[in-house]
């Protein structure tokens, strides 16, 4: 039996079981379960940065009747396209204990041309998936659910054509329909700053709406930009961009949100690192007869950017009832 190591333990989060458990419970315990919330959007930075926001997402997750949890996250280290990669490990180690992988379902997914297996090094390097595992373990413990009674299916998503997004979405839609499955979409929001090659700026929602309507790029700040001529601080502009993205996912009267979501990303260039995992889920949800919407319970930034030399990462916590 092979176990995926907790490779970011001791750096991105504590390797001490007791310290980690205490920290995660502090993030989780103040918030209530949302009945029917089986899909969440959760950030994946170090817990000192995003843990409080992440805890709000996991606290909302309704585990009632859930026997399997899919974790979809982006690739930060390798490029691939028109495939989704699934883990080759049998278990997922955390300092709190290990989680079982649904190896039977992984094998079934691998029979489809849309899936391939991650190599162990790629799997171990990827933090977008790993950062979900300890929080998931802690959330199950908090609900008095044996973590060994729930299996996990980690899936890495990278660059897909529209056709492949819908292909993967069609496959996952069968599991979305089944209330014994829950889904974690691992994604940070805007990565702002020169080191992320993104310095987009908008002064208000109207500027975003106009850019989308006219299919034009938003402003990019440079060292020569006169910030005194801009109506809001950079950190507020970042929040406007992020919350506009969230609002697209929250449109109750828009059943297929995939195209508006992709168009927003193309026009604004917002560096939402898990946008591809979210895109696949939007495709999956489009196959359901019921309308759906995401609701947002948390938002934060790693720092408040005030000049072009600064940088920050944004974190959002949301859920969707299905």
What residue ranges define each of the domains in the chain, with the CATH number in brackets? Answer: 3-186 (3.40.830.10), 191-273+303-313 (no CATH)
In terms of C-beta density within 10 A (0-12 exposed, 13-18 middle, 19 or more buried), how is residue 88 classed?
A: middle
Average pLDDT, the chain: 96
Q: Which residues pair with 156 in a beta bridge?
A: 73, 85
Q: What is the tens place of the pLDDT at every residue in 246-302?
A: 999 999 877 889 999 999 999 999 999 999 999 999 999 999 988 999 999 999 999
Please report which confidence band the pLDDT of residue 213 belongs to, taking 50, 70 and 90 as the band edges: very high
Predicted confidence (pLDDT) at residue 242 exceeds the cutoff of 90: yes
CB 220 within 8 A of CB 106: no
User: Which segments of 177-274 does DSSP mark as H helices, in order?
Assistant: 205-214, 234-249, 258-268
SS3 at position 106: helix
């Amino acid at each position: 039996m092979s176990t995926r190591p907790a490779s970011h333990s001791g750096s991105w989060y504590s390797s001490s079981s007791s310290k980690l458990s205490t920290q995660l419970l502090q993030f989780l315990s103040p918030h209530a379960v949302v009945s029917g919330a089986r899909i969440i959007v959760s950030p994946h930075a170090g817990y000192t940065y995003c843990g409080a926001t992440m805890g709000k997402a996991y606290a909302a997750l309704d585990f009632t009747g859930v026997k399997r949890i899919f974790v979809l996250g982006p690739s930060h280290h390798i490029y691939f396209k028109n495939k989704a990669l699934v883990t080759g490990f049998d278990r997922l180690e955390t300092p709190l204990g290990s989680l079982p992988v649904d190896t039977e379902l992984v094998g079934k997914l691998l029979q489809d041309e849309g899936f391939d297996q991650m190599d162990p090094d790629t799997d171990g390097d990827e933090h977008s998936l790993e950062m979900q595992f300890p929080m998931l373990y802690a959330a199950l413990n908090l609900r008095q659910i044996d973590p060994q009674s729930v299996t996990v299916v980690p899936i890495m998503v990278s660059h897909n054509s529209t056709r492949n997004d819908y292909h993967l979405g069609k496959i996952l839609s069968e599991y979305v329909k089944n209330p014994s499955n829950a889904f974690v979409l691992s994604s940070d929001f805007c990565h702002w700053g020169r080191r992320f090659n993104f310095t987009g700026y908008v002064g208000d929602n109207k500027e975003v709406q106009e850019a989308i309507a006219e299919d034009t790029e938003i402003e990019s700040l440079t060292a020569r930009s006169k910030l005194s001529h801009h109506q809001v601080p950079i950190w507020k502009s970042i929040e406007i961009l992020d919350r506009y993205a969230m609002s697209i996912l929250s449109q109750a009267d828009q059943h297929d949100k995939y195209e508006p979501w992709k168009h927003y990303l193309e026009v604004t260039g917002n560096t939402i690192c898990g946008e591809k995992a979210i895109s696949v889920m939007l495709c999956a949800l489009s196959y359901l007869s019921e309308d759906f919407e995401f609701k947002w319970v948390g938002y934060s930034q790693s720092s408040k950017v005030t000049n072009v030399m600064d940088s920050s990462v944004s974190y959002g916590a949301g859920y969707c009832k299905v």
